[in-house]
Each structure stands twice: as C-alpha cells, then as structure tokens.
Amino acid sequence: MVSIRDVAAHAGVAISTVSKVINHYPNVSEETKEKVEKAIAELGFVPNTIASALSSKQSGRVALLLKLNKRTNAADEIAMQYIAGAIQRARELSMDVVTVFYSMLEDKSVEEIIRYFETQGVSGIIIYSMDQQDEALLQLIRTDRFKFVLVDAPITGPNISSVSIDNRQAQKDVVLETAKQNDCSKILYIAGEESGYVTGERIAGMKELAREQGYKLKIVYGDFSEKKARELTLRYAKRYSVIVCASDLMAIGAMRALMDMDIFRPVCGFDGIVLMGYAGKQMNTVRQDFENISAEAITELRKLLSGSEGQQVILPHSLVRMKYEDVIM
Amino acid sequence: MVSIRDVAAHAGVAISTVSKVINHYPNVSEETKEKVEKAIAELGFVPNTIASALSSKQSGRVALLLKLNKRTNAADEIAMQYIAGAIQRARELSMDVVTVFYSMLEDKSVEEIIRYFETQGVSGIIIYSMDQQDEALLQLIRTDRFKFVLVDAPITGPNISSVSIDNRQAQKDVVLETAKQNDCSKILYIAGEESGYVTGERIAGMKELAREQGYKLKIVYGDFSEKKARELTLRYAKRYSVIVCASDLMAIGAMRALMDMDIFRPVCGFDGIVLMGYAGKQMNTVRQDFENISAEAITELRKLLSGSEGQQVILPHSLVRMKYEDVIM
DNA sequence: TTGTATGCGTTATCAG
DNA sequence: CTGATAACGCATACAA
C-alpha cells in the first residue's frame, strides 16, 4: 500500500504538504502542487479513508436509514433506488455510505442508537420516510451529534435538511390529469398511514382540490397496503366515480379489486414504480425520481457537513401513465 | 466519545488489557475481565471501528458487488434481498458492509479496482452473479489482496468460496413438478445469458432431464430479458408443449405472450420473486432464498477472513407456485 | 497475567 | 508557503 509518506518522499516534500494538496488547501504554491500531483499519479496513490477519518474525526461517512418491507416488492423497488442514488452521488463526492435498516434499531434507546452510529464513524444520517410517531428518531434528530437529511418528512433545523417533492401539488396534479378524461366528481381517496408525514400533505392537496373543483371527497386509510386498498375498494368503490390512491401499490390493489368486481373506475397511483406496468390496466400516477431524490439528499448532507444551515429542498415530480410495454426491456 | 482509555482508567487497568477483553483474548483473568466489562457497561463504551481498523489493518469490512438493473423491478427485488441478508448477518458478526455496483467499476483497470477497495478499507468482497467474461473481475479474484465469496459462480480457491443453490438439480425439479400435471414432452427452454455461470448449470440440468425422460428439448437464449423471452415465445411456443424459463422475469414475459397469443402452455420460472404474483397466471418456479444465500456468503467470508480455506457451499432450494393472494399483504 | 511502548496513515497545529 | 510533530483510538510485540 502506497501511503502519503511515499508520495512525500517521491515528490521531495513534507508529508503535511502532500496532505494539503490532497485536501485542496489554499496555501500551496502551484509549483509544489504540481510536483505532488505528479508523484501521486506516478505512484497511483489513493488516500486511506480510514486513517483520514480517524485523524480528522470527520469521516465523511453517512448512514442511510431505510425501511425494509419484506414481501412487497414495491418497497424494494423504491428502497433500491434510494440506495443506488445515494451511493452514486456519495461516490462522486467521495463520501462513504453505510446502509442501515429500521429493524436494526428497533427497541434500542436513543443513547444506544447514537453510540451505534458513532462507532460506525458516521457523521451524517439520511432518514427515509420517517414516521411522525417514531419517538426515538425524533429525539435523535434533536441531538446535535449528527447532521440529518429527512426524505419525505418536512422537518428542518440548523443541522437538519428535508428533501421531497411537493406532495400536496403532486396529488392535485394527478387527479386533475385524470379528470381530463374521466368523471372525478366523487372521489374515494385511499390515503397512506395516518402517522406518515406525506399522508397529511397529500390529503391536504386532495381537500384543496375538492374545494376548488367542487368534488365530493371520501377519505379512508389504506396504510400503504395493497391488501387493505383492495378491501376498501371492494367495499366503497361502487359509490364513487374515481379511486385515488396515495401509492402505486394501493392503486394496484384497487385496480385488481375493480377487475374482480367487473366494474370500471379510473384509478390514480402515486410513486411511479415499475410494478404499475403489471397491474393489468393503465393508470395515471405521480412519478417520483427516487434516485435523484436520494442523490440530492446526499448533496444536502454534504452541505450540512460543510457547515451550511439546514434547508427544505423541493424536487420536481412528473405525471406518467405506465404500461407493460414500457417497463419490459 | 468514551474511548478505551477511559475504560482503562475507570477499571484501573492498562489500555492493552481492555483491548484484550474486547477482542476476547484467551489470557485474561476472570477477575480483571469482569472489572473491565463492568467499566465498559457503566461508561457505555463501544469500540471505535475506525481506529480499530486502522490499527489492525483488518477492517472486517466487506464489499458487496452487485449488478444494478434499472428498469426491471425483478432485479431490484433480488438485489435488495441480497443486501438485506448480507447487512443483517454482517451486523451479527459485527462486520461492516459497503455496497458497490458493477457500474462504479466499469472501465477501471484491475489495479484501480484494487486500489479502490483498498482505500475503502475492505478486506473481503462478495461478488454476485459474476459473468464468465468479466476479465477484470476474474483477474481481481486471482490476486491475493482480498478474500472472495462468489454467489452463483462456482469458483473456489484458497481464498475464494462460492455459494449457490444446486442450479442443475433445481432446474430439473421444477420441470418434473410441472410434468406431474402437464405434458412436458416437448420443451422450449429459454436460457439466460450464454456467458452466465448459472446458465450452463441449468442447461446441463435440462439436458440431463431430457435424456432421462426422453423429452424433446429446444434451447434458446433469452438473456434474462422479459422482452426477449416474450419474443421467443411468440415465435416458438406453438411448437412446444411447455415453456421452461431460466428466470421468473422471462417466465412472466413468456406467460404474457401466451396470453396475448391466446394459447395455453404451462410455464416454469426460476427464482421465486414476488413479481410472479402479478404475472396473471400461476406458474411453478424454483424459490431461492436470496437473503439466506447472502447471509451465508457473509458467513463464508468471515471464515475466510479468519484463515479458513475457500469451499463450495450449496444451499437448499424449494418449489413454489405463487399467486396474487400470496404476495399482497 | 498485566502493562509499556510503538505504529497504523492522516490531519492539524505551529514554528520556521 | 513549507515542514516538524503531536494527536486520533486502538492493536500488538515485547517487557515485566
């Protein structure tokens, strides 16, 4: 392993000078900088992240805190895109990523959670889809031990940023799109979990829309479960002209229930997952670019770690209509 | 941050003694061990993995090298299970996991790849579904820089283990199961990619079966692509009595093609992914427990890192028939 | 069985 | 602008 020491010797400068070049310190003369860079290239030197982390107490290491939803493949799809987006951006910013699942933190006290992350050397944490009632996590983000970026939870602070799409507007948009071709005057809205942050936003969008357009609106909670959406559809669908769901998974559940009932109702989803292509019928849905959302979360975290204040970041969404032909390749 | 030094002071022993207790060295008296453990508990000390890694040059850090298949959700499902299984087992063995995608290593020389992993402090690598023609990776595993576990590639060596199911047997099993209720005398076998290790194994199974049972067998390559499987089915299906696919994704493609053609042929898949529940019709398939496979890979890597010789590990598989009702919850 | 001392590869603080 | 040198927290050879 070629170390900074070798580079220093090869370039004929001091170790500390090499370090300064590596870390882009301002006060290094062009001349020596070139010498060092040449030596680095010739020796194929790459800094040892471990040593760097130990020395600087700044690991540049971030944790992704994700929900792992076994048995529903939609959750996998989203989580995987989150992971991929984060890892790739992290690599560009030469940050280090460790993936953690909620299940690994269950029944741990805040102190234990803190220690866990500390020993892992993480300095920033991205929390995906935090629940409003997750006390441990809420306490955690209030400690100043780490920097946080919350995806889909609109909490900000000096060391907390939030990243998400405009859920309220997106929810309105997808219904308006559907209304172009269909009767949406009587809406059955199948919301997510009552304790989810996005749930409130999306419901707010629906209420606003109903008011503006004079639609009738019935709200029920499907808990983001395909099965529950199916049951709710079987029970209520007949009385409404359209079914709007807060997730694609629920939309698929609703659609298949409708097919079983042999009645037609337009269905809207939310998320834009590939699985929609297998639903049997096309539906309008909001497409969230999860990879990009996650990548932006990393970028935000980088900023926080560099001393910036937390902020709220709203990313764009789009509307799509997915069909089988589009999702296979 | 409470360090080993604090623990030592608190317990009234030397730093090295604490280290020995932490790392379960044999020669520490029960008495001092208890003292130290008490101090550890009281101070809530957790060892700093970074410092430990730097000092020992043994990070206990492993990399997962995965294929990231955008746009096909089946790939996500499998990759996600691999990740989850690995992370959880790694946690149990207090190992550290970093996720890497093939795409991040593309057009990198072996030396660069080695350096990349070195600076990341990884000492072991799990390679999932390596391609027979991936020269860089093949060279990589020949270097003795890291320990390797190959999932689904039957290569072993002093520091290489392999983990997989018995692909040959599994492929036979699923067809035999299907043959109980259907005419399987004329088989259209849609294989995966010609360069894949598993492809050869599964084809061998098919050939063996065809010989044993006197089946007629036509082999075509679907490259694990749903679309290609669809095309091949549209082209050949009529002439055969059953369609056997080397992956669920291809099976779904085949099944939907059959539905479009409005003819019936039994279809077999391979993998047991949740997406099968959305295929429209039930199919027999081999279920691989990807989480467990990945967990076992971690266990194997742990053994290798502890000095064991590489070995081949064959894990069990099962047969399932998935329907929509089973996959929703 | 326990303690001392040195080093792991970097960063950061200060002299020069 | 450059160069010694002391940390960082832990592991380990070696001495006691």
User: Percent of chain B having pLDDT more than 90?
Assistant: 68
Tell me the sheet residues that pair with A99. Answer: A64
pLDDT-derived band of residue B96, with 50, 70 and 90 as boundaries?
Answer: confident
DSSP B164-186: EE-HHHHHHHHHHHHHTTS--SE
Question: Phi and psi of B87, rounded to 5°?
Answer: -60, -40
Tell me the sheet residues that pair with A124. Answer: A62, A147
- Residues B153-183: pLDDT tens digits? 999 999 999 999 999 999 999 999 999 999 9
pLDDT-derived band of residue B21, with 50, 70 and 90 as boundaries?
Answer: very high
DSSP A62-98: EEEEE---TT-HHHHHHHHHHHHHHHHHHHHTT-EEE
Contact residues, A window 134-163, toward B, CB-based 8 Å cutoff: none
Encoded tokens for A316: 């764009």
Superfamily of domain B167-288+321-326: Response regulator (3.40.50.2300)
pLDDT of residue A75: 65
SS3 content of chain B, % helix, strand, coil (to 5): 50, 20, 30
- For residue A207, pLDDT over 90 is answered with yes
Encoded tokens for B102: 């093939």
Q: What is the mean pLDDT of chain A?
A: 91
Looking up tokens 């199974």 gives: B205
Residues of B in contact with A327 (CB under 8 A): 71-73
May I ask the CATH architecture of the domain B1-45? Answer: Orthogonal Bundle (1.10)
- For residue A319, pLDDT over 80 is answered with yes
Contacts of A20 (CB under 8 A, 6+ apart): A27, A28
Topology alike, domains B1-45 and B167-288+321-326: no
Whether A116 contacts chain B with CB within 8 A: yes
Question: Phi and psi of A315, rounded to 5°?
Answer: -105, 155
Mean pLDDT score, B94-119? 87
Identity of the residue in A97, A101, A230 whose CB atom sits nearest the CB atom of B328? A230
Q: How far is the CA of B113 from the C1' of D15 (A)?
A: 42
pLDDT of residue A72: 65
Mean pLDDT score, B39-56? 88
Q: Can you give the residue ranges of every domain in chain B?
A: 1-45, 167-288+321-326
In a mutational test of the B interface, the residue from A278, A322, A323, A326 whose CB has the highest number of chain B CBs within 10 Å is A278
A188 with A240: CB under 8 angstroms? Answer: yes
- Residues A77-128: pLDDT tens digits? 899 999 999 999 998 887 889 899 998 888 888 988 888 888 777 889 999 9
Is 0.85 topped by the overall pTM?
A: yes
Count of residues making up chain B: 329
How many Å separate Cα B84 from the centre of its chain? 11
- What distance in Å separates residue A53's CA from the closest CA in chain B? 7
- Of A252-256, B75-79, B230-234, the one with minimum mean pLDDT is B75-79
B119 vs B207, more confident: B207
- Residues B278-305: pLDDT tens digits? 888 899 999 999 999 999 999 999 999 8
- For residue A161, pLDDT over 90 is answered with yes
Mean pLDDT score, A264-274? 94
In a mutational test of the A interface, the residue from B95, B328, B329 whose CB has the highest number of chain A CBs within 10 Å is B328
Q: What is the mean pLDDT of chain B?
A: 91
- For residue B75, pLDDT over 80 is answered with no
- Residues B175-211: pLDDT tens digits? 999 999 999 999 999 999 999 999 999 999 999 999 9
SS3 A311: coil
> CA nearest B205: which of B234, B172, B177, B231?
B172
Q: Cα(B186)–Cα(A313) distance, rounded to whole angstroms?
A: 58
- Residues B307-324: pLDDT tens digits? 889 999 999 999 999 888
Mean pLDDT score, B141-149? 90
Whether B41 contacts chain A with CB within 8 A: no
pLDDT-derived band of residue B70, with 50, 70 and 90 as boundaries?
Answer: low
Contacts of A258 (CB under 8 A, 6+ apart): A233, A237, A243, A264, A265, A267
The alpha carbon torsion through B7, B13, B19, B25 (nearest 10 deg) reads -140
* SS3 sequence of A216-265: EEEEEECCCCHHHHHHHHHHHHHHCCEEEECCHHHHHHHHHHHHHHCCCC
pLDDT of residue B73: 61
User: Percent of chain B having pLDDT more than 70?
Assistant: 98
